[in-house]
């Protein structure tokens, strides 16, 4: 697996990391998102070099905002029915209360997918009920856990079109559906909807395969949507999965990242904000910045390989505290036309690791993919 991943990464590097191409200089780094200074200036880096980097106090997604504003992000709530798991419910309630209490209020909320755990009607409706207490405008994109029980039927009834666009104070926002175009792994094997959902709901499953993708039709839609947008004006794209290749065995990517890059390449101020990974992530691909968001449900460890070198890892969560390692985010567009992503990790003042033992990456791992899900009867 590693050889294949290395090959893909080399290809991605050759295709996307053109010499001298970086996100627009006017973009800086927020006080909550950090970057390795040596990489900023092109210094060589090999392997897992998340050594304790100098912190830049501002990253940013720049743009020409007409007025300062902020919005909030919640995702990956993975709700079961209330009778089965109350912890996940409690955490959604807390996130909703905190977003509602923002002062000044957020202009809108983005819900970044995986509202439900197993795509059940009861789970999706529970999510709607819990989020109802949040009175600001809400936009939803789907996650794979929302979709593969009934192929998005209930989700569509509740939330409408899975991809959308709107302009807000000088920024073009786009929501993408990166989950619904998975290759059909169920028909030939005569799976029930529950079996189909079960394979999709297993992050390290081997049956559902490379399901994450944008799709040619949606790429064409995005290209058309951006056609009238000035190439130097800011664009923020929301997706459930990251729009670059991080770790395909867990679908920490979209399989058509090349085509995504082709569409976005002409635009100089593109920021992708994504869920799915349940962890702090930061990357730059060509002129696009990419920021990974926390789940409210549970944190995932970093993948055994492929963690972007620009990511300052989040602190290793305490498994005894189900409020640790999870939370939500504010995205604050300030008066200087910068966007400041702030991780609200419950129970932690310091989101990022400060020393090696506090990182899940401190012990290198060599992992094998699971095997039992590919044996009889599948």
Partner 1 sequence: MTIRATVLGTLCRPSFVVAIAAVAVFVGPTSAHKAPHTPEQLKLYEDLLMEEVRKGDLLFHGDAATAKQMNVVLSTTGMACAMCHPMASDTHPQSYPKFQVETSKFATLRDMINWCIEKPNQGEKIEIDSEAMKALEAYIHWSNAGSVLVPGKH
Interaction site with partner 1 (CB under 8 A)? 80, 84-85, 87, 117, 202-204, 249-250, 298-301, 303-304, 319-320, 322, 357, 360, 362-373, 375-376
Cα distance between residue 208 and residue 132, in whole Å:
33
Nearest to 17 by CA among 306, 244, 280: 244
Please state the closest distance from residue 67 (CB atom) to partner 1, in A.
Answer: 42
Please state the closest distance from residue 292 (CB atom) to partner 1, in A.
Answer: 16
Nearest to partner 1 of 84, 128 (CB atom): 84
Please state the closest distance from residue 184 (CB atom) to partner 1, in A.
Answer: 22
Say whether the peptide bond before residue 377 is cis (omega within 30 degrees of 0). yes
Please state the closest distance from residue 191 (CB atom) to partner 1, in A.
Answer: 15
Nearest to partner 1 of 215, 325 (CB atom): 325
Nearest to partner 1 of 127, 249 (CB atom): 249
Nearest to partner 1 of 35, 118 (CB atom): 118
Cα distance between residue 342 and residue 351, in whole Å:
10
Please state the closest distance from residue 320 (CB atom) to partner 1, in A.
Answer: 5
| Edge-first strand listing for the sheet containing 164-168 | 164-168, 171-175, 235-239, 270-274, 288-292, 281-285
Nearest to partner 1 of 144, 177 (CB atom): 144
Nearest to partner 1 of 162, 325 (CB atom): 325
Residue 340 and residue 282 in contact, taking contact as beta carbons nearer than 8 Å: no
Please state the closest distance from residue 27 (CB atom) to partner 1, in A.
Answer: 32
Cα distance between residue 111 and residue 141, in whole Å:
6
Nearest to partner 1 of 92, 109 (CB atom): 92
Cα distance between residue 138 and residue 267, in whole Å:
26
Give burial (CB, 10 Å; 0-12/13-18/19+) of 288: buried
Please state the closest distance from residue 34 (CB atom) to partner 1, in A.
Answer: 22
Residue 310 and residue 36 in contact, taking contact as beta carbons nearer than 8 Å: yes
Dihedral sign of CA atoms 138, 233, 15, 9 in order: negative
Cβ–Cβ contacts within 10 Å for residue 287, how many? 20
């Amino acid at each position: 697996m590693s050889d294949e991943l290395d090959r893909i990464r080399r290809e991605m590097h050759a295709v996307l990391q053109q010499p001298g191409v970086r996100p627009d200089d006017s973009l800086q780094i927020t006080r909550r998102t950090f970057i390795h200074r040596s990489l900023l200036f092109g210094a060589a880096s090999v392997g897992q070099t998340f050594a304790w980097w100098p912190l830049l106090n501002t990253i940013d997604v720049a743009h020409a905002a007409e007025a300062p504003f902020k919005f909030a992000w919640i995702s990956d709530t993975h709700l079961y029915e209330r009778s089965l798991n109350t912890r996940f419910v409690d955490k959604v309630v807390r996130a909703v209360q905190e977003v509602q209490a923002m002062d000044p209020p957020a202009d809108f909320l983005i819900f970044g997918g995986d509202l439900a755990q197993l795509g059940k009607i009861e789970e999706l409706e529970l999510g709607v009920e819990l989020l109802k207490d949040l009175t600001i405008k809400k936009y939803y994109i789907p996650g794979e856990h929302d979709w593969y029980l009934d192929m998005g039927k209930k989700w569509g009834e509740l939330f409408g079109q899975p991809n959308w666009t709107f302009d807000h104070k000088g920024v073009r926002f786009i929501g993408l559906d990166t989950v619904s175009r998975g290759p059909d792994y169920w028909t030939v094997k005569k799976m029930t909807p529950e079996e189909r959902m079960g394979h999709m709901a297993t992050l390290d499953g081997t049956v559902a395969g490379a399901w994450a993708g944008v799709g040619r039709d949606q790429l064409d839609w995005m290209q058309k949507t951006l056609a009238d947008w000035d190439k130097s004006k800011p664009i923020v794209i929301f997706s459930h999965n990251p729009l670059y290749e991080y770790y395909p065995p867990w679908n920490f990517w979209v399989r058509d990242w090349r085509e995504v890059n082709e569409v976005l390449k002409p635009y100089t101020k593109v920021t992708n904000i994504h869920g799915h990974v349940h962890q702090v992530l930061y990357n730059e691909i060509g002129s696009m910045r990419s920021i990974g968001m926390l789940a409210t449900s549970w944190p995932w460890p970093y993948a055994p390989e492929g963690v972007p070198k620009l990511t300052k890892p989040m602190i290793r969560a305490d498994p005894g505290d189900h409020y640790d390692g999870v939370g939500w985010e504010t995205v604050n567009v300030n008066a200087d036309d910068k966007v400041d992503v702030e991780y609200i990790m419950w129970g932690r003042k310091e989101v990022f690791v400060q020393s090696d033992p506090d990182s899940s990456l401190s012990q290198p791992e060599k992992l094998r993919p699971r095997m039992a899900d590919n044996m009889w009867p599948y």
